[in-house]
Amino acid sequence: MKKIITLAASVLSVVGLAAPTIVAAQDAFSAVIVTDIGGVDDKSFNQSAWEGLSAWGEEQGLEQGLDGFEYIQSNSDSDYVTNLNTAVQSNFDIIFGIGFKLETAINDIAVQYPDRQFAIVDSVVDQPNVASLTFKDHEASFLAGVAAALTTETDHVGFIGGVEGVVIGRFEAGFVAGVQAVNPDIEISIEYAGSFADAPKGRQIAAAMYSNGADVIFHASGATGNGLFSEAKDIVSNDPERNIWVIGVDLDQEAEGIVTIDGEERHLTLTSTLKGVGEAVKQFTELSQAGEFEGGNHVFGLADGGVEISEGNIAEEHLETIEEYRQQIIDGDIEVPEVPGE
């Protein structure tokens, strides 16, 4: 099992380019991400993108700001167009939209500014000046489902989604398929919060699921999932005999599941699905800087290291089984569904 994604080679191989020598196409090259409403401290999707862009900036010796690397925070859906226009007017050389909810805004602004370079994560925008970075989230979610099914003691697991749609549907579909591949009789509770930034709602949903017998809950809900972690830690703090787990998303969320009981740490993060958003952002910034930007859809999955799961706290005896499923997916022996109910 892999604990860390390395996309440095895989991104370039999917694009079909050799690793470039980074030489600025102009004196001052700059890059910016426009976040979804989760923000760069969501401990998940947006944070990963910002970490990737920051890593690029630091390697280039740049500072955060208009002449280097920056983020523009979206606090509501209505901010997307305004923020993208701000990025264009600020003359950033490559502009990333982080999340599928920015699809329409990215498409529209790419049409308005055909000579500028844009990228979007988790959606496909069919414009020649837009690089679409998409991930096979369903593959990693399948492995998370296998881990949940092997771990549950109550034969009841849960899934909390952020906003219903194609992307989060992939997480749900993969997770359900993974659980059912191990044991089709396991009960699976599924609920959506309707937001990627509503931790209280995430906590409410988690409380109900744990109360109803679920002992492993996977979330694909951005900052909403912070409420899931809070609820799990409170439950165990109040009743250390409870054996419950959380499965994180996009980044390794091991640290979010640590609770201290009687002076000893207890780890509640079973595993996390990992997604190379940060590395993809970093690599495509480098390509753009080198004058080798390429539009179109670039897809990353288990086979090229674009998605994975962490070892986390999965029992040692289950790791081999998970690896077997992982290899079957890579080999094409298992075709993981992308749509719930398939």
Interatomic CA distance for residues 30 and 106, integer angstroms: 18
pLDDT in tens, 291-303: 999 999 999 999 9
Position 237: which residue type? S
Domain parsing of the chain, residue ranges: 8-136+276-304, 137-274+306-331
CATH number for the region 8-136+276-304 comes to: 3.40.50.2300
Integer angstrom CA distances of residue 229 from 11, 189, 251: 32, 17, 14
pLDDT at 28: 81
- pLDDT at position 7 is 40
Q: How far apart are CA 339 and CA 342, in angstroms?
A: 6
Q: What percent of the chain clears pLDDT 90, i.e. is strictly above it?
A: 87
Q: Is 135 exposed, middle or buried (CB count within 10 Å of its CB: 0-12, 13-18, 19+)?
A: buried
Question: Helix/strand/coil (H, E, C) string of 84-133?
Answer: HHHHHHCCCCEEEEECHHHHHHHHHHHHHCCCCEEEEECCCCCCCCEEEE
pTM equals 0.84
Superfamily of domain 137-274+306-331: Response regulator (3.40.50.2300)
Environment class of 317 (CB within 10 Å of its CB; exposed 0-12, middle 13-18, buried 19+): exposed
Whether the domain at 8-136+276-304 and the domain at 137-274+306-331 fall into the same CATH topology: yes
Element (H, E) at 321: helix 316-331
pLDDT of the residue at 42? 82
H-helix or E-strand spanning residue 166:
helix 166-182
DSSP letters for 168-205: HHHHHHHHHHHHHHH-TTSEEEEEE-S-SS-HHHHHHH
Closest CA to 20 of 304, 287, 298, 296: 287
CA 222 to chain centroid: 8
Element (H, E) at 144: helix 137-151
Question: pLDDT under 50 in the chain at which residues?
Answer: 1-26
